Amino acid sequence: MSAIVEVVEAGMAVTIQDRGRFGYRNIGVPVSGALDLCLMTAANAMLGNDPDAAVLEVCLSGPSLKALSGTVRISLAGELTAQVVNTRGRVLKVLPWQTATLFPGDVVRIGGVARGVAYVGISGGFQVPTQLGSRSTYLRATIGGVDGRALAVGDRLNCDPLCGNPWVETCGTLHWPIEPGPIRVLAGPQDDHFTPEALAAFIGKPYRVTRDMDRMGIRLDGEKLTHNDLGAEIVSDGVAPGAIQVPANGQPIVLMADCQTSGGYPKIATVIRADLARLAHVRPGDEVHFVAVDHAQASAALREQAQLVGRWCESLGTFRPPGVVDEAALYEGNLISGAIRGDELAWYSV
């Protein structure tokens, strides 16, 4: 039996995403999926979900969701807070890296993201239909998610009802691992289209994030990267998230999750998988620095990232929200001579 939540406020450009849509790039379908797969994993881990369960990706302001049927649990991963308003008007603040339980009639108001992207998980994941093997939303082709679009007021989303104690929540006990330093890249595959001065500038000089950024890509601004005699165009070939194209104007474009499947601009470098999610958290005006690594270093970075995320998930703890009373324990207490005795509380009538 499914539980249902209703969208009572849609937020701004909130979409359903999972790990992505693989195996269809040969027919022009992008991978899509969460911009930060590690944060998506964290959101699901707090709920005991499958790591690939569908979540809400919040890039600006979050939605408000009302539990219509069944008791459900949500989680917040990233720089995101929320408020749960129950049917009696009581308000409970939900901090980042925590879960919160919604009983029928309760509403969770999810705020805006302080920086980058954040994720809202729900018990069992958001169970919209799969298309081409994924629930991820790809807006340009109206594929996946809710009719291929962002959330809208009145949408009703299925999930699983909560299994377990509704009075005990889950939280992260470690700081979320954030990798500092430059964005690591692998050279090429068309770095031979650039002058030695351009290659040195790309690694040695900062680039600034422009306002032209979305789930498809990020345009950067900085020292012009000059092409050599091979020119600023190639016969179109395959591209993937992380590829850094440089058109004739010499300003790099980093491709992201919703990028096209082929392109005709030379690619000076490719962001390694372990660092691609970091670019999901930049804002216009931020500076980006690049550093070259080899394939062995890129593989080692991915293994280290998986270990850090795994350690964080293994360290999850539990807590009782302030003011929440375990009604089941209360009713099951031993009522003798006006005393209520439970595992954690005893009080006497006066």
Sequential DSSP letters for 185-241: EEE-SSGGGB-HHHHHHHHHS-EEEEEEESSSEEEEESS---B-TT-S----EE--T
Residue 20 and residue 153 in one domain: yes
With H, G, I as helix, E, B as strand and everything else as coil, classify residue 263. strand
- Using CA atoms, how far apart are residues 241 and 147, in angstroms rounded to an integer? 24
144 and 249 inside one domain: no
Q: Please list the residues that pair with 288 across neighbouring strands.
A: 207
Once rounded to an integer, what is the mean pLDDT over residues 330-337? 52
Lowest mean pLDDT among 101-105, 189-193, 234-238, 340-344: 340-344
Q: Provide the pLDDT confidence category of residue 350 given band limits of 50, 70 and 90.
A: very low
Domains: count for the chain = 2
Residue 220: its pLDDT value, please? 98
- Per the domain annotation, does 150 fall within a domain? yes
User: Are residues 79 and 224 both part of a single domain?
Assistant: no
Is 323 contained in some domain? no
166 and 262 in a single domain? The answer is no
Average pLDDT of the segment spanning 272-289: 96
- Co-location of 215 and 77 in the same domain: no
Report yes or no on 342 lying in a domain. no
Q: Looking at the domain assignment, is residue 312 inside a domain?
A: no
d(C-alpha 134, C-alpha 149), whole Å: 14
Same domain, 187 and 259: yes
The whole-number pLDDT of residue 328 equals 55
CATH number for the domain harbouring residue 223: 2.40.100.10
Domain span holding position 89: 3-171
* pLDDT the model gives residue 5: 98
What is the reported pLDDT for 343?
41
Q: Give the model confidence (pLDDT) of 107-165 as tens digits.
A: 999 999 988 999 999 999 999 999 999 999 999 999 999 999 999 999 999 999 999 89
- pLDDT tens digit string along 43-96? 999 999 999 999 999 999 999 999 999 999 999 999 999 999 999 999 999 999
Q: What are phi and psi of 227, to 5 degrees?
A: -80, 150
pLDDT-above-90 percentage for the chain: 89
